[in-house]
């Protein structure tokens, strides 16, 4: 033991009370908390009682107790003279931090220690002062210590009771909280179930509506296809008959009759165009058009269109078709692509009174961008979506006086989608329009 503070001698069982009191005093002086003081005093008192109790054999004749401080702990050493009592010592594990027993033929040495709380550094000067205080305080009588011990017992009991009450209250609160949580959980899971049922019902309704919509759209497509098909023969016949009437070989017509026959021919031609457009659209919508994929040179498509569309131009509008730089390969359906571009070029010429209609193609990563730009009347921004709806035409006549069906753009968009691309418009009234066809170079058939 490094630093000894005080020691005492025990000769009879009644001296054990004094030892207990001394243990408490020393523990308090070095800074142990109250509960630890009682623990250490109780441990020493238990050792003392064991040593001096005669259990059918001879007990210790005397014992010396040393209190000291070392390694941040209060150390207690008991040297008992007499036959070994080691096997009688009670278990003190919970009262002290360390406990060792050296058992000899005439002496039994018990050492125990308890940690001093952090911050209780004991300097030499402090230890000297403690030594002085302990030397000055005379041990009290066993009765005093007994009274003190009783008081401590009562305090401990009181504390235990308070703890128990606190625990009971905590338990009650916990139970209350649990009940609340359970109620909330039940309510929430009820609401969740309700919501889930609603969502499921909503989905079922949605499925039903989509099925109805699909059926309606299919019925519309079927109707358009049938009606246009049925109309084509009689309209063609009307055109043929009107041409016959107009024929120089036929009986001559009066001027009025000739004008009326011309009117019939013009209207029948308009009707035939509408019927043909409707048939095309119905075919595209019904999914019966299967692109015929092949490797196409865009320059071939461009030069063919340059030739066929030029016939439509008037003196005031120039058609400019810019050949793409080679290699201008794309995997696509040549006929469908030419149909789309022809449609866009026709529109450009139809809605441009002066200036130019230009077609050019550029590569953008894995895509080709084919743009048809005109210097025509343009389209207000709020109608950019509507012009792709069937039969929609921007109010006001085309500046060239040409007529249309309002079916060209919806059909063109369907074809571009079929080819794996997209058709978009950028336009401003008075500033012209640009229609852009974006198509994957590798095609949309998933073969390359």
3-class DSSP assignment, residue 312? coil
Q: Which is nearer to ligand ADP, 82 or 404 (CB)?
A: 404
**Cβ 268 to ligand ADP shortest distance, Å:** 18
Nearest to ligand ADP of 130, 278 (CB atom): 278
- Residue 374 touches ligand ADP, criterion: CB under 6 A: yes
Q: How far is the CB of 439 from ligand ADP (least distance, A)?
A: 19
Interface with ligand ADP includes 405 (CB under 6 A)? yes
How buried is 62 (Cβ within 10 angstroms: 0-12 exposed, 13-18 middle, 19+ buried)?
middle
The CB-based long-range contact list for 106-110 (8 Å cut-off, 24+ gap) reads 106/81, 106/82, 107/79, 107/80, 107/81, 107/82, 108/51, 108/60, 108/79, 108/80, 108/82, 108/84, 109/77, 109/78, 109/79, 109/80, 110/47, 110/77, 110/78, 110/80
Nearest to 372 by CA among 424, 416, 429, 447: 424
Count residues near ligand ADP (CB under 6 A).
18
- 142 or 348: whose CB is closer to ligand ADP? 348
Least separation in angstroms between residue 322's CB and ligand ADP is: 18
Pairing of strands 317-321, 355-364: parallel
Query: Which residues have a Cβ under 8 Å from the Cβ of 186 and sit 6 or more positions away?
Result: none
281 binds ligand ADP (CB under 6 A): no
Name the minimum Å distance from CB 273 to ligand ADP: 9
By the rule CB under 6 A, 95 interacts with ligand ADP: no
**Which residue of 379, 416, 419, 437 would you call a contact of ligand ADP, by CB under 6 A?**
379
Which member of 348, 420, 421, 443 binds ligand ADP (CB under 6 A)?
Answer: 348
Q: Which stretch binds ligand ADP (CB under 6 A): 120-128, 220-228, 259-267, 406-414?
A: 406-414
d(CA 161, CA 167): 10
User: Among residues 48, 324, 376, 420, which is the contact residue for ligand ADP, using CB under 6 A?
Assistant: 376
d(CA 337, CA 408): 14
Q: Is residue 377 a contact point for ligand ADP (CB under 6 A)? A: yes
Among 394, 418, 426, 442, binds ligand ADP (CB under 6 A): 394
Piece of 57-65, 198-206, 218-226, 343-351 that binds ligand ADP (CB under 6 A): 343-351
Tell me how far CA of residue 145 lies from CA of 26, 70, 295, in angstroms.
Answer: 15, 27, 111
Q: At what angle do helices 334-350 and 298-310 cross, to 10 degrees?
A: 40
Residues near ligand ADP, by CB under 6 A = 347-348, 351, 374, 376-379, 387, 393-394, 404-409, 433
């Amino acid at each position: 033991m490094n630093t000894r503070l005080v020691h005492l001698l025990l000769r009879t069982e009644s001296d054990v009370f004094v030892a207990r009191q001394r243990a408490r005093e020393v523990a308090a002086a070095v800074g142990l908390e109250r509960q630890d003081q009682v623990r250490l005093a109780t441990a020493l008192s238990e050792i003392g009682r064991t040593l001096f109790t005669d259990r059918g054999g001879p007990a210790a004749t005397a014992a010396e107790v040393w209190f000291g401080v070392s390694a941040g702990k209060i150390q207690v050493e008991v040297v008992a003279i007499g036959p070994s009592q080691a096997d009688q010592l009670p278990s003190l594990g919970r009262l002290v931090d360390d406990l060792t027993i050296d058992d000899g033929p005439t002496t039994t040495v018990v050492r125990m220690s308890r940690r001093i709380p952090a911050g209780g550094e004991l300097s030499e000067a402090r230890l000297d002062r403690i030594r002085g205080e302990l030397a000055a305080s005379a041990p009290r009588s066993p009765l005093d210590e007994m009274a003190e011990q009783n008081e401590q017992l009562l305090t401990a009991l009181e504390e235990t009771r308070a703890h128990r009450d606190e625990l009971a209250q905590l338990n009650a609160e916990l139970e209350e909280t649990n009940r609340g949580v359970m109620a909330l959980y039940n309510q929430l899971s009820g609401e969740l179930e309700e919501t889930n049922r609603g969502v499921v019902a909503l989905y079922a309704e949605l499925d039903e509506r989509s099925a109805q919509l699909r059926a309606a759209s299919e019925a519309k497509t079927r109707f358009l296809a049938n009606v246009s098909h049925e109309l084509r023969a009689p309209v063609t016949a009307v055109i043929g008959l009107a041409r016959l009437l107009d024929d120089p070989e036929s009986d001559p017509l009066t001027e009025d009759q000739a004008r009326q026959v011309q009117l019939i021919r013009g209207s029948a031609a308009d009707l035939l165009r509408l019927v043909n457009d409707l048939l095309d659209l119905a075919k595209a919508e019904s999914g019966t058009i299967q692109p015929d994929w092949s490797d196409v040179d865009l320059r071939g498509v461009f030069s063919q269109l340059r030739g066929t569309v030029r016939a439509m131009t008037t003196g005031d509008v120039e058609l400019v078709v810019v050949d793409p730089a080679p290699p201008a390969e794309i995997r696509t359906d040549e006929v469908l692509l030419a149909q789309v571009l022809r449609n866009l070029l026709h529109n450009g010429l139809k809605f441009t009174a002066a200036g130019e209609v230009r077609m050019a193609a550029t590569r953008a990563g894995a895509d080709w961008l084919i743009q048809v730009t005109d210097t025509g009347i343009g389209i207000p921004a709020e109608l950019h979506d509507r012009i792709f709806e069937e039969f929609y035409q921007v109010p006001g006549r085309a500046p060239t006086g040409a007529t249309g069906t309002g079916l060209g753009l919806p059909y063109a968009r369907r074809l571009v989608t079929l080819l794996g691309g997209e058709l978009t418009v950028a336009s401003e009234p008075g500033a012209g329009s640009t229609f852009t066809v974006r198509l994957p170079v590798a095609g949309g058939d998933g073969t390359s």
